[in-house]
Amino acid sequence: MMLRKLFSRNKRDEKGTAQGVTAQEGSDRETANKTEIPADNSVDVPTQAGLFARLKQGLAKTRTGFVDRIGQLLTGRNIDDSLFDELEEILIQADVGVTTTLELIGRIRQKVETERITDSSQVRELLRAEITALLSRDHRPLALPDHTPAVIMVVGVNGVGKTTTIGKLAYRFKQGHAKVVLGAGDTFRAAAVDQLRVWADRVGADLIAHQEGSDPSAVAFDSVAAAKARQAEFLIVDTAGRLHTKANLMVELGKVYRVAKRELGRELDEVLLVVDATTGQNALSQAKLFKEAVPLTGIVLTKLDGTAKGGIILALANELRLPVKLIGVGEQMWDLQDFDPASFTDALFN
């Protein structure tokens, strides 16, 4: 069965009670337990209109703290240097970042001059068009190859929603009646394997796990071997939520990737970096360092519904030239949505 068909049937973050479990690890477990999954492992999938409504709802804080402020700024104003200075300030405060902000403002200034625009309200539409173009430039959807198993490696620091992302992806694939294997490669963090096991049990995926503290590369090797032997359509490999500032741990992450690649006999289909939208420019710093350690293919931006500064998505797409492939806009299973630049901009500006 073609993976693309399996996946397309469903288009649509980690607090502790156990001894030795940190607050964030307990939160992962609580999230897995409270995310609603019916007993028969099925759900009424929202229509495209319903998904768009969820997207708009998830971007409400960013729209209020970012786009609405721009609308107020551009109402009844003369187009002059002071207007562009204030627009620049709003973009930077929304975590768009200095580099990306200057590029956007520069292109808008040029169009205003070239097209002799005098109505400040038109600047809003220029900005909207530039944002759509920026997000569309390197956009690629999640890779769904015809070969099996499709292998997705998921990386990111602790607390960004990595485990939840894996669980929701596995659920989506299972809804397409695919066989899914999860590799518990985060072997160093207390209860990390238990958290992933909760997701595996709830969505009906197989779990490959070793003892706590074991070699994560061995988990990756065994996970690929198991996925091939069991003729799974999808393998999702978790990795340690290592601090991106620890060079030796980043080197180890590269080893995990190489071992999985060697056992698979080809490049992995996706290496996804999960980043938390609420961390702002720190997410960009994380992404740059992870990109040096492993060949990232895309970004999963979580917790967009929890920030009024969703402009970080522009900085990530522009400065890293990596596609944002999935976004998290809520806690329900379908709130991990495929990223579409046009729909995202529509939900943000309308």
For the CA atoms of 311, 36, 142, 56, the dihedral, rounded to the nearest 10 degrees, stands at -40
pLDDT, averaged across the chain: 85
Could you report the per-residue pLDDT of 244-266, keeping only the tens digit for each?
Answer: 566 777 888 999 999 999 999 99
Residue 272 pLDDT level (bands cut at 50, 70, 90): very high
104, 137, 170 - which closes a domain: 137
Does residue 78 share a domain with residue 220? no
Could you report the per-residue pLDDT of 81-135, keeping only the tens digit for each?
Answer: 999 999 999 999 999 999 999 999 999 999 999 999 999 889 999 999 999 999 9
Q: Is residue 332 part of a domain?
A: yes
Across the chain, which distance is largest between two alpha carbons, in Å?
67
pLDDT over 70 at 57, yes or no: yes
Does residue 32 share a domain with residue 177? yes
List the domain range (segments joined by +) for residue 66: 61-137
Query: Helix (H, G, I), strand (E, B), or coil: what is residue 137?
Result: helix
Ramachandran region of residue 153, left (φ > 0), alpha (ψ -120 to 50) or beta?
beta
Does residue 146 share a domain with residue 130? no
Q: Is residue 16 part of a domain?
A: yes
Q: Is residue 128 part of a domain?
A: yes
Does residue 338 share a domain with residue 207? yes
CATH number of the domain residue 94 falls in:
1.20.120.140
Does residue 180 share a domain with residue 243? yes
Q: Is residue 263 part of a domain?
A: yes
Q: Is residue 54 part of a domain?
A: no
Does residue 227 share a domain with residue 279? yes
Q: Is residue 56 part of a domain?
A: no
79, 112, 137 - which closes a domain: 137
Q: What pLDDT sits at residue 125?
A: 93
Does residue 203 share a domain with residue 70? no
What pTM value is reported for the model?
0.85
Percent share of the chain, pLDDT over 90: 58
93, 120, 137 - which closes a domain: 137
Total tally of structural domains belonging to the chain? 2
pLDDT over 50 at 199, yes or no: yes
Instruction: Convert 232-253 to b/e letters by CB count within 10 Å (16 or more is b).
Output: bbbbbbbbbbbebeeeeebebb
Does residue 153 share a domain with residue 126? no
CATH number of the domain residue 317 falls in:
3.40.50.300
Question: Cα–Cα distance between 136 and 129 in angstroms, integer?
Answer: 10
**Beta-sheet strands, E only, within 105-255:** 150-155, 180-183, 206-208, 234-237
Question: Cα–Cα distance between 58 and 305 in angstroms, integer?
Answer: 4
**Beta-sheet strands, E only, within 133-232:** 150-155, 180-183, 206-208
Q: Is residue 52 part of a domain?
A: no
